[in-house]
Structure 1
Amino acid sequence: MSTAATAICNLLYRYAEAIDEGRLEDAATLFRHARIETGAAGPLDADGLLALWRRILIIHPCGTPRTRHLVTNPILDIDETAGTAKVSSCFTVLQSAADFPLQIIASGRYHDRFARIDGPWCFVERDYRQLDFTGDLSHHLRVPIKLSQRT
């Protein structure tokens, strides 16, 4: 795997790790150069994304959402010369909480764009609208969400 591919995949995994550890500010910082599509009121920046997470995510007494985000199957289209990349990947979210046995609660796809900014690779766009399947989200989200619409 190329250095660019490793750096980009590591960003995908760092995001998942930060969310699962309840480090929402660290996760949002990864998107400091990005435009984020959520399907809500329009695109968000990193501050808007952090505010959204604080509003909708349930953080349990341990300080985490009690989740494990598995990011898999990254398909990378990297243009080293331009310093840009498009990546699609799959995610599966597992959760276990008090009186809530371990189970899959969501699955979908991330569509991301990356660019080298002042040296390192950075998220410049994320599309969260590809949520394909949901399970019981009652211990994860304070508000209901809709599945992606397919045409």
Structure 2
Amino acid sequence: MSDSSQSTVTDVRTAEDAEAIRRLLSRQAHLRDTDQLDDWVQGYAEDGVFTAHGTVATGRAEILAIAEAQRAAFWSDWRGSHFLSEPGIDVDAEAGTATGITHYTFLGLDEDGGYKVYVVGRYHDRFVRTEDGRWLLAAREVLTVGEESLKPAEDAAHTPAEDGSAEA
């Protein structure tokens, strides 16, 4: 195979992987919003890590326990909607790994039966492709606006203005 056709195959695989990750992110938000936590936790790798508000859960059982505790603490009737930005996804197709940053807003029921914004923030995600080609969350760090840790991670992608690749 020529270098050009190999590059095209790699580009197609990377685009397909990024789209599969976008679908995973969308599915995860839908499952959480519809309180399908048993299905939601399956979107994490067996040894996945979930970090939020100083709490770290490792493995599906711990991650599920955190989600159930959040539900019990905040909403007796868990109903709301996560609104996600277009994620920034970097795929290493050859390694079967990816990273991503997605901004989110969560709207939930208020005490009067209407909706209000409860939280706005950013997900810092790492993904892994399974042997059967599915993508799962290997790690998610949930950051909310106002947290000092919402500042870009040291390994986060640069902004175009930082390297002169685009005008500010």
Q: What's the TM-score, normalizing by structure 2? A: 0.71
1:52 matched to 2:66? The reply is yes
Contact 1:22 / 1:59 at 8 angstroms: preserved in 2? no
1:101 matched to 2:100? The reply is no
Give the partner amino acid of 2:35.
G
Q: Please state how far the C-alpha of 1:70 moved relative to its aligned partner.
A: 0.9
1:77 matched to 2:76? The reply is no
The aligned runs of 1:114-125 (5 Å cut-off) are: 114-118=127-131, 119-125=133-139
Assess, with a 3 A threshold, how the Cα gap between structure 1 residues 104 and 77 changes in structure 2: closer, same or farther: same
SS at match of 1:5: helix
Assess, with a 3 A threshold, how the Cα gap between structure 1 residues 90 and 116 changes in structure 2: closer, same or farther: same
SS at match of 1:55: helix
Which is helix-richer, 1 or 2? 2
Q: Please state how far the C-alpha of 1:98 moved relative to its aligned partner.
A: 5.5
Distance in 2, Cα, partners of 1:76 & 1:41: 25
Contact 1:66 / 1:97 at 8 angstroms: preserved in 2? no
SS at match of 1:76: strand
SS at match of 1:73: coil
Give the partner amino acid of 1:42.
V
Give the partner amino acid of 1:51.
A
Q: Please state how far the C-alpha of 1:97 moved relative to its aligned partner.
A: 4.8
Aligned residue pairs: how many? 132
Match in the other structure for 2:39: 26
Q: Give the gaps of 5 or more residues in structure 2.
A: 1-11, 152-168
SS at match of 1:81: coil
Deviations, residues 27-47 of structure 1 (Å, cap 9, x unaligned): 111113311222434343221
Larger Rg: 2
Q: Please state how far the C-alpha of 1:56 moved relative to its aligned partner.
A: 2.2
Match in the other structure for 1:138: none
Q: Please state how far the C-alpha of 1:121 moved relative to its aligned partner.
A: 1.3
- Of residues 40, 53, 61, the one that matches 2:54 is 40
Which is strand-richer, 1 or 2? 1
Q: Give the gaps of 5 or more residues in structure 1.
A: 133-146
Moved over 4 A (4+): none
Percent identity of paired positions between Structure 1 and Structure 2: 27
Q: What's the TM-score, normalizing by structure 1? A: 0.78
Assess, with a 3 A threshold, how the Cα gap between structure 1 residues 59 and 32 changes in structure 2: closer, same or farther: farther
